[in-house]
Amino acid sequence: MKFETLCLHADNNIKDEWGTLNQAICQSATFVHKGVDVDSPYSYSRLSNPTRRHLERTIASLEGGYDAYAFSSGMTAITVAMMLINPKEHVIATDDLYGGALRLFNHVNKNNGIEFDFVDTSNIDLVKEKIKPNTKLIYIETPSNPLMQVTDIKEIANLAHSIGALLYVDNTFLTPYYQNPLELGADIVLHSGTKYLGGHNDALAGFLVAKTKELAEKALFYSKTIGGQLAPFDAFLIERGIKTLPIRMDRITDNAYKLAKWLKTNNKIKKVYYAGLEDNPGYEIVKKQARGFGGMISIEVESPELAKKILKEVKIFQYAESLGGVESLITYPMLQTHADVPKEEREKIGINDRFLRISVGIENIDDLINDLKAILE
Ligand SMILES: *Cc1c(COP(=O)(O)O)cnc(C)c1O
């Protein structure tokens, strides 16, 4: 089956007495054993639940993994994945990471004895310089958030494996519709399902997809031990979102490209970061390893006053955190995602008081452009 069809039919094992087309929402914490010596597929919903399991099989299939586990947020999925790394082991991670992952690494995992180095992983030589005898994991986001730096997944997977380390890729930005890190050599793929997979800003979710049986079994052990699984109703919502993932991504990418091109022509916009612009440093690599560029754009405007004016006066774009939904959103990374990052560090990489991040939605592109045009002119 091709991707669009898999989004609807990857797990057609729905067998119940009513013949439901959709996996029924199985709102039960526990399940009745069929007999004392009889194996039952379900016993307790922290271990497994039919609604969640259906979604997990769909995601495993879309990412080409051995198995997948669904959690109540992206951060839970990342937390569980980090349980596979032990104290005194060393991790090399992208420096331009999702703020929550950065907080987990710096304030939880480090306290528990895991060592970290953060580098621009789009530059493989910088990664090589950080390798230590105890390096056990390379952790990347590509394109990165919010600077859209692009890492060559195949190249970095080869490097990781040559030193006996694992590669984790947070694939939230491009989704499995555009990018399949496991095929390119990654060992674990992570997602905030809250974003494009769910797609409607109505539920939090996270996924861990493991390439091998061995990694899946380890992840399942920590998952059932820690908890934080996705609830049945939320699993239903994310499953429903996935059915339209390809057509949403097509529209979003089309809109984002047109918007990025238009932003480049406006003299009050000083910089446009979009992986799909031919002059973005990572453009050729995304073209090689992915099938689309997605909907995330960052801009630097001419003054902090203009940045604030945009946030105040937009009518169709909404000033809100998060990304990946059908509605277009703008955030102010300085005040939101990067509020915890010291000012000097953040300004060094370009996240200043003129920097805004846009998540493009599925509205009509003319309405989106006119919304900004009215403020910029
Ligand atoms: C939002 C996000 C996360 C965290 O996911 P939650 O569902 O908010 O917990 C992780 N990685 C990326 C790239 C994200 O955008």
Euclidean distance between CA atoms 191 and 246, whole angstroms: 16
pLDDT at residue 310, rounded to an integer: 98
Q: Which residue CA neighbors atom 7 of ligand 1 most closely?
A: 74
**Mutation test of ligand 1: which of 80, 175, 192, 358 has the most ligand atoms closer than 8 Å to its C-beta?**
192
Do the beta carbons of residue 205 and residue 192 sit within 8 Å?
yes
Q: Which CATH superfamily is domain 246-376 in?
A: Aspartate Aminotransferase, domain 1 (3.90.1150.10)
Q: Which residue CA neighbors atom 12 of ligand 1 most closely?
A: 98
Is 46 catalytic? The answer is: yes
Distance in Å, CA 195 to ligand 1 centroid = 7
* Contact 96 CB / ligand 1 (< 6 Å): no
CA dihedral 232, 238, 239, 240 (to 10 degrees): 110
Token pair recorded at residue 236 = 């239903």
Is 132 catalytic? The answer is: no
Catalytic residue among 69, 98, 139, 178: 98
Is 195 catalytic? The answer is: yes
The sign of the dihedral angle between the CA atoms of 309, 315, 316, 321 is positive
Q: pTM of the prediction?
A: 0.97
* Contact 73 CB / ligand 1 (< 6 Å): yes
Distance in Å, CA 16 to ligand 1 centroid = 34
Token pair recorded at residue 148 = 């859209």
pLDDT at residue 287, rounded to an integer: 97
* Contact 141 CB / ligand 1 (< 6 Å): yes
Atom of ligand 1 nearest to the CA of 206: 7
Atom of ligand 1 nearest to the CA of 194: 7
Catalytic residue among 11, 67, 96, 170: 170
- Chain-wide mean pLDDT for the chain? 96
Catalytic residue among 52, 53, 136, 195: 195
CATH 3.40.640.10 in the chain, residue ranges:
3-242
Helix axes 232-243, 245-265, angle to 10 degrees: 70
**Cβ neighbour number for residue 349 with a 10 Å cutoff:** 16
Look up residue 231 and give its DSSP letter: P
Euclidean distance between CA atoms 158 and 210, whole angstroms: 17
**Cβ neighbour number for residue 161 with a 10 Å cutoff:** 14
Average pLDDT over residues 25-48: 93
* Contact 234 CB / ligand 1 (< 6 Å): no
pLDDT at residue 305, rounded to an integer: 97
* Contact 54 CB / ligand 1 (< 6 Å): no
Do the beta carbons of residue 276 and residue 260 sit within 8 Å?
yes
Fold classification of 3-242 is Aspartate Aminotransferase; domain 2 (3.40.640)
Distance in Å, CA 74 to ligand 1 centroid = 5
In the structure, what pLDDT confidence band is assigned to residue 345 with cuts at 50, 70 and 90? confident
Q: What is the pLDDT of residues 217-227, one digit of tens each?
A: 999 999 999 99
Is 187 catalytic? The answer is: no
- The pLDDT of residue 14 is above 90: no
C-alpha distance from residue 127 to each of 30, 104, 118, 122 (Å): 47, 21, 9, 9
Q: What is the CA radius of gyration of the chain?
A: 21
pLDDT at residue 111, rounded to an integer: 98
Average pLDDT over residues 98-111: 95
Euclidean distance between CA atoms 151 and 172, whole angstroms: 14
Q: What is the pLDDT of residues 154-167, one digit of tens each?
A: 999 999 999 999 99
Tell me if the bond preceding 143 is cis, omega within 30° of 0. yes
Through-space distance between the first and last CA atoms of the chain, rounded to whole angstroms: 49
- The pLDDT of residue 15 is above 80: no
**Mutation test of ligand 1: which of 72, 78, 105, 194 has the most ligand atoms closer than 8 Å to its C-beta?**
194
Atom of ligand 1 nearest to the CA of 77: 9
- The pLDDT of residue 79 is above 90: yes
pLDDT at residue 323, rounded to an integer: 97
